[in-house]
Structure 1
Amino acid sequence: MTGEPVLLSTTTDGVRTLTLNRPRLKNALNVELWHALGDALTEAGDDPGVRAVVLAGAGGAFCAGADLSDGDEGRPAHPLARMRVVSDLALVLHELPVPTVAKVDGVAVGAGWNLALGCDLVVATPRSRFSQIFARRGLSLDCGGSWLLPKLVGLQQAKRLALLAETVDAEEAHRLGLVTWLVDPDGLDAFVADLGRRLAAGPPVALAQNKALLNEGADRTLRDALANEARAQSVNFATVDAPAAFAAFNEKREPVFTGEWAVP
């Protein structure tokens, strides 16, 4: 035991960065870290001062997945209870009302890769490596992978990744649409910092609704999607952000968004 926290949290200009901090084990997720990350994401979603979340890993790796060597002490009695911790975390990340960015350098495998895929945007370096490693461990997909992969790459490629459990390099992950941007390692910090600032400067209510509309729209009919869009747009027009944007456009300046409710 080093006494160091398994999760580091910093906030700069509305961007909350959560860093998995078990570098000796490539940030593998033990019970303590699962709970700490779930609590931290919930807290970030409830904090009006947080406008974006960055998920990162310490020590040159993103996350090596679940720590299968983790001892039984403190574990729930039944595996289904343990899996609820994993599933609850994936759901909190998916439903977080602020934009999320995975900052990936090094390995992202198993549940670690699915944590990255659960973020809205993924920034990786050419030295990143990815694998749905579950089958090699005699396990099936978890942490949302069975839902995320087919939507991101289609059913056939999802089956390839899950059944063969191959290691995919950063170039192929980018080609498949599993990485949003590939960035040189020396420029990764600056790129993610700028991306976080841009997201944090956006209209918080509109961005939250855009995220929810896109997530929900993947499973809905066009009729459902149009109804959701109309509801969301009505909410946007009831905030100060839409008028602020129109005024800024007319005055040829950048708007300042707050998400405040404008209806008396």
Structure 2
Amino acid sequence: MSFVDLQFKNTIATVTLNHPGGNRINFQMREEILAAFEKVASSKARVLLVKGSGPDFCLGGDIRDWPDIGASDLRPRVEVYARAIDLLEQLPIPTIAVVQGGCMGGGFELALGCDLIVAGTSAHFMFPEAFLGIMTLQGGVYQLAERIGRNKAIEMVFLSEVVDAAQMANWNVVNWLVDDGDLEKTADELAERLRLGPADAYRRTKQLMQIWRQQGRAAARAALYDVSMPLFDTPAVQSALRSAVKAVKAGDPIPKAAFPDN
């Protein structure tokens, strides 16, 4: 049985978790998620959607696999998922988590590995690891701290309290909060908008953000023009600039450029 579905449509890739009962991530799913992201990385996809089938996005790791496995045996099986999230974060294309219902533990870390989160009003977020006496195993505490600061991240991880989507939107973890009935439509429209956007600029923006994340602001500032200036040598940008200048001279709004193959 396969627990992960990968589909490509119009250069939009969709990875869907499909494990009935909350999309809990068992050992096989970890391998399948990594394999799916590897296929996306080697494809011509321009956007990735990450979804969970059923009422919940993902309730985290399938702890039914864990009892009576020692740390030395468990570690390599858990590290597979860490590699998957690392790869997700390193993808040069926009990535979007589409979240409904429970988004907990490793599922929350999966969502935080995406660039953007679109959530339905039913979505609720939690790190339950402290209930088991363990830590967020894929780096969820620092993933969250990057978005909401150390204090609130530590609070969520230590207390393991459920936080609803509205509060997560207030904390800038959730980018768009919509009715559950509009969740798929909103995510699909966003993916299509990004698919038609400047792929090279997106890639270079993510490259710069990786430098900032790993090496700090000074390193990102030092790399800024090495990363950004080559865009001005591309035909797509030159065409967009000429159209924009023409509009400005005519007193018209700057038109939205098309970037079909950049």
Give your verdict on TM over 0.5: yes
Matched, 1:19 2:21: no
Question: Residues of 2 paired with 1:119 and 1:221: CA distance?
Answer: 20
Question: Residues of 1 paired with 2:257 and 2:30: CA distance?
Answer: 38
Structure 1 gap ranges (5+) = none
Query: Residue type matched to 2:26 in 1?
Result: N
Alignment of 1:8-157 (within 5 A): 8-22=5-19, 24-48=20-44, 50-70=45-65, 78-157=73-152
Given that 1:125 and 1:170 are in contact with CA atoms closer than 8 Å, whether structure 2 keeps it comes out as yes
Question: Residues of 2 paired with 1:221 and 1:130: CA distance?
Answer: 28
Given that 2:142 and 2:153 are in contact with CA atoms closer than 8 Å, whether structure 1 keeps it comes out as no
Corresponding pairs, count = 253
Q: Secondary structure at the match of 1:115?
A: helix
Higher helix fraction: Structure 1 or Structure 2? Answer: 2
Given that 2:37 and 2:87 are in contact with CA atoms closer than 8 Å, whether structure 1 keeps it comes out as yes
Moved more, 228-237 or 85-94: 228-237
Query: Residue type matched to 1:148 in 2?
Result: Q
Given that 2:102 and 2:123 are in contact with CA atoms closer than 8 Å, whether structure 1 keeps it comes out as yes
How many Å apart are 1:80 and its aligned residue? 2.3
Q: Secondary structure at the match of 1:119?
A: coil
Given that 1:14 and 1:200 are in contact with CA atoms closer than 8 Å, whether structure 2 keeps it comes out as yes
Query: Residue type matched to 2:139 in 1?
Result: G
Question: Residues of 1 paired with 2:144 and 2:235: CA distance?
Answer: 37
Question: Residues of 1 paired with 2:141 and 2:56: CA distance?
Answer: 23
Deviations 1:118-176 (A, max 9, x none): 11000111111110111012210122213211111111101100100111111111112
Question: Residues of 1 paired with 2:219 and 2:72: CA distance?
Answer: 41
Q: Which residue of 2 aligns with 1:255?
A: 257
Question: Residues of 2 paired with 1:129 and 1:221: CA distance?
Answer: 31
Alignment of 1:225-244 (within 5 A): 225-244=220-239
* Identity between Structure 1 and Structure 2 (%): 27
**After the TM superposition, which parts of structure 1 deviate over 4 Å for at least 4 consecutive aligned residues?**
none
Q: 1:77 to 1:236 in 2, by over 3 A?
A: same
Question: Residues of 1 paired with 2:229 and 2:16: CA distance?
Answer: 37
Q: TM-score, normalised by structure 1?
A: 0.89
Given that 2:141 and 2:154 are in contact with CA atoms closer than 8 Å, whether structure 1 keeps it comes out as no
Given that 1:240 and 1:259 are in contact with CA atoms closer than 8 Å, whether structure 2 keeps it comes out as no
Given that 1:90 and 1:144 are in contact with CA atoms closer than 8 Å, whether structure 2 keeps it comes out as no
Moved more, 178-187 or 244-253: 244-253
Question: Residues of 1 paired with 2:221 and 2:95: CA distance?
Answer: 25
Query: Residue type matched to 1:257 in 2?
Result: F
Q: Secondary structure at the match of 1:102?
A: strand
Deviations 1:59-114 (A, max 9, x none): 11100101111379xx9962221232121111101101111000001100001011
Q: Secondary structure at the match of 2:65?
A: coil
Given that 1:118 and 1:144 are in contact with CA atoms closer than 8 Å, whether structure 2 keeps it comes out as no
Q: Secondary structure at the match of 1:61?
A: coil
How many Å apart are 1:259 and its aligned residue? 5.2
Question: Residues of 2 paired with 1:221 and 1:117: CA distance?
Answer: 20
Q: Which residue of 1 aligns with 2:251?
A: none
Q: Which residue of 2 aligns with 1:179?
A: 174
Query: Residue type matched to 1:41 in 2?
Result: F
Q: Secondary structure at the match of 2:163?
A: strand
